[in-house]
Amino acid sequence: MSNHIEYEPVIGLEVHIQLSTVSKIFCGCRARFGSEANAQVCPVCLGLPGALPVLNRKAVDYAARLALATGCEINPRSVFARKNYFYPDLPKGYQISQFEQPFCENGMITVETASGGKRPVRIRRIHLEEDAGKSMHQEAYVGDDESLVDLNRCGVPLLELVTEPDLTAPEEAAAFLAYLRQLVRYLEICDGNMEEGSLRCDANISVRVRGTFGLGTKTELKNMNSFRHVERALAFEYERQCALLTAGQAVQQETLLWDANRNIATPMRSKEFAHDYRYFPEPDLLPVEIETNWIEAQRRDLPELPQAKKVRYQEAFFLPAYDAAVLTEDADVAHYYEQVADRVDDKKLASNWVMGEVLRACKERGEGVTDLKMTPALLADLLGMLTRSEINSGMAKQIFEQVLQTGKSPHDLVAEGGLSQIDDHDSLQSVIQTVLQAQQKDVSAYLQGNEKVLGFLMGLVMKATSGRANPRTVTSLLREELAQLKNRL
């Protein structure tokens, strides 16, 4: 990536995670968007005179999930603080955040790098805070000399996660974010959509001579709205700092804005970040008191995390690492797979079908796995028929498509004969005769009055035709054939 092989980057991240609670963090307004501008607001999130915040405990539950999933220590007492600055999208003139006593501290996320290595990244802290509104300066309907503000987002709960500067490559930063996104989705605390701002990432980066331990002067990067942009911006800034140092110049501590159109990072005007936030404890809210029992209850409720699940798929289902990674990428897909795997013996076959047909169907139809008419139970039925050779794999794919369209069970679809069927009497008769010859004992049982055997023989014929025989034709032909045998007796 670089011709500055003697320097290594030192990267830390600050990620804002927008929580998917039903209501906002300090009032009862809906936190999900959808209505027109400034419609999801009330005296509290508008910062009207006299209004007071009341903490939404759901936001604390969500914070605890992430804390436990990242091995953080949850502080028995954390304190909200006011972060003071003026901006039109911040109606109170301060943001309620946490400062000296954050919700939790000292966690760890281990990231698997593209080369297969593992990079432990320490989490310095995670704290709760409220989101600000949105300012609009450039929309078509905004005049040259005016700005508009939409306060619907004001008070939506956020978690701010701060890492130590433990990442040593832009790709690692991207991998960290990808894992964090996967984690918050598993925990069902955030939809993880970076483009829509549900996950927002700022980064700081410095460089040092490879093999040394000191920290160089760092710069901050803002305004990156995808993993790819984070990676690109860091790569850009790494090159820029290396070039400065190589030329004998110093890196200035400053904040840079990533310009995704031009692929460069440019310094913010110094005024834009020269803030003294004058933090002090928020007197309108009590400290958040957390009891050990409660933490343990939350821990018990924690879902299996993606990395553990991946290991389990390899050990319990004997899946290759690749399959385990693909299947656990998304919590819903993993859940889908497990429901299929519970019902079929061949776990690898289930994996192939989920990774192949199911994910392809999702992509083509733009649906999530949970939306598909092909439910895990129906897929398991289909795979069962395939395993028992009642159908061949070509037919299985046809049935798969029909289930996707109709939601009918594979058995019914076969029974209805809606598939490309064998219906001509000659070929079916020869199959039937072959079956009957091989099953002399069952035939004589039938001839002695055991009618149940008919179904069994019927199944054998269907199997012999990979399910493509028209069952009605088979039934009538089979009865005829057996009747003739009876007559001969």
Partner 1 sequence: MIHSFTDLQSIQGKLAAGATSCAELTEYYLDRIHEGAHLNAFISLFAERARAQAVEIDGKQKKGTAGRLAGMIMAIKDNMVLDYGATTCGSHILEHFQSPYTATVLKKLAAEDAIFIGKTNMDEFAMGSSTENSAFGLVRNPLDNDRVPGGSSGGSAVAVAADFCTAALGSDTGGSIRQPASFCGVIGLKPTYGRVSRYGLVAFASSLDQIGPLTRSVDDAALLMNVLAGRDPGDSTSAAVDVPDFCADLDKPLKGLRIGIPQEYYGEGLDETVRQALQKTSEFLRDMQAIPVPVSLPHTEYSIATYYILANAEASANLARYDGAHYGARADAARSLEEMYVQTRSQAFGAEVKRRIMLGTYVLSSGYYEAYYAKAQQVRTRLRDDFDGAWQHCDLLLTPTCPTTAFRIGEKASDPLTMYLSDVYTVSVNLTGLPALSIPCGQDPQGLPIGAQLIGQPFAEGTLLRVAKQLQLHHAPTRQVLRLEER
Residue 143 touches partner 1, criterion: CB under 8 A:
no
Q: How far apart are CA 448 and CA 265, in angstroms?
A: 88
Select from 42, 55, 305, 415 the one that contacts Zn ion (CB under 5 A): 42
Residue 51 touches Zn ion, criterion: CB under 5 A:
no
Closest approach, Cβ 50 to partner 1, in A, equals 4
Residue 54 touches partner 1, criterion: CB under 8 A:
yes
Select from 278, 388, 472, 486 the one that contacts partner 1 (CB under 8 A): 278
* Size of site (CB under 5 A) for Zn ion: 5
Is the Cβ of residue 276 or residue 451 nearer to partner 1 in the bound state? Answer: 276
Using an 8 Å Cβ cutoff, are 11 and 238 in contact? no
Select from 7, 94, 227, 400 the one that contacts partner 1 (CB under 8 A): 94
Interacting partner of 82 out of partner 1, Zn ion, none (Cβ under 5 to 8 A depending on kind): partner 1
* Size of site (CB under 8 A) for partner 1: 29
Q: How far apart are CA 343 and CA 202, in angstroms?
A: 45
Neighbours of 273 (CB within 10 A): 12
**b/e map 1-34, b = 16+ CB within 10 Å:** eeebeebbbbbbbbbbbbbbbebbbbbebebeee
Closest approach, Cβ 92 to Zn ion, in A, equals 12
Between β-strands 219-224 and 255-259, what pairing exists: parallel, antiparallel or unpaired? parallel
User: What torsion do the CA atoms of 227, 233, 235, 240 make, to the nearest 10 degrees?
Assistant: -170
Q: How many angstroms separate the Cα of 47 from the Cα of each of 94, 373, 382, 417?
A: 10, 46, 58, 66
Interacting partner of 45 out of Zn ion, partner 1, none (Cβ under 5 to 8 A depending on kind): Zn ion
Between β-strands 94-98 and 104-112, what pairing exists: parallel, antiparallel or unpaired? unpaired
Select from 73, 188, 254, 284 the one that contacts partner 1 (CB under 8 A): 284
Residue 355 touches Zn ion, criterion: CB under 5 A:
no
Select from 6, 37, 51, 346 the one that contacts partner 1 (CB under 8 A): 51
Phi, psi of 346 (to 5 degrees): -85, 95
Select from 22, 120, 196, 280 the one that contacts partner 1 (CB under 8 A): 280
Closest approach, Cβ 148 to Zn ion, in A, equals 19
Closest approach, Cβ 10 to partner 1, in A, equals 26
Stretch that binds partner 1, among 89-97, 170-178, 423-431, 455-463 (CB under 8 A): 89-97
Select from 30, 37, 55, 217 the one that contacts partner 1 (CB under 8 A): 55
Q: How far apart are CA 259 and CA 223, in angstroms?
A: 8
Residue 272 touches partner 1, criterion: CB under 8 A:
no
Closest approach, Cβ 85 to partner 1, in A, equals 9
The gap from C-alpha 66 to its chain's centroid, in whole angstroms, comes to 14
Q: How far apart are CA 58 and CA 421, in angstroms?
A: 56
Residue 155 touches partner 1, criterion: CB under 8 A:
no
Phi, psi of 38 (to 5 degrees): 60, 30
Interacting partner of 53 out of partner 1, Zn ion, none (Cβ under 5 to 8 A depending on kind): partner 1
Residue 27 touches Zn ion, criterion: CB under 5 A:
yes
Measured over the CA atoms of residue 231, residue 235, residue 236 and residue 238, the dihedral's sign is positive
Residue 47 touches partner 1, criterion: CB under 8 A:
yes
Using an 8 Å Cβ cutoff, are 101 and 79 in contact? yes
Interacting partner of 286 out of partner 1, Zn ion, none (Cβ under 5 to 8 A depending on kind): partner 1
Nearest CA-CA partner of 461 in 488, 438, 484, 444: 438
Select from 257, 264, 285, 422 the one that contacts partner 1 (CB under 8 A): 285
What 3-state DSSP class applies to 387?
Answer: helix
Residue 82 touches partner 1, criterion: CB under 8 A:
yes
Stretch that binds Zn ion, among 37-45, 233-241, 255-263, 281-289 (CB under 5 A): 37-45
Q: How far apart are CA 313 and CA 327, in angstroms?
A: 9
Select from 9, 12, 91, 216 the one that contacts partner 1 (CB under 8 A): 91
Q: Name every residue whose Cβ is closer than 8 Å to that of residue 407 and which is 6 or more positions away in sequence.
A: 373, 374, 378
Is the Cβ of residue 42 or residue 295 nearer to Zn ion in the bound state? Answer: 42
Residue 45 touches Zn ion, criterion: CB under 5 A:
yes
Residues listed for the chain: 489
Interacting partner of 368 out of Zn ion, partner 1, none (Cβ under 5 to 8 A depending on kind): none
Is the Cβ of residue 28 or residue 356 nearer to partner 1 in the bound state? Answer: 28
Phi, psi of 152 (to 5 degrees): -55, -35
Residue 84 touches partner 1, criterion: CB under 8 A:
yes
Residues 415-474 that bind Zn ion (CB under 5 A): none
Residue with tokens 């803002």: 222
What 3-state DSSP class applies to 274?
Answer: coil
Using an 8 Å Cβ cutoff, are 108 and 71 in contact? yes
Q: Name every residue whose Cβ is closer than 8 Å to that of residue 398 and which is 6 or more positions away in sequence.
A: 419, 420
Closest approach, Cβ 81 to partner 1, in A, equals 10
Residues in contact with partner 1 by CB under 8 A are 43, 46-55, 82, 84, 86, 88, 91-94, 147, 149, 276, 278-280, 283-286
Residues in contact with Zn ion by CB under 5 A are 27, 29, 42, 44-45
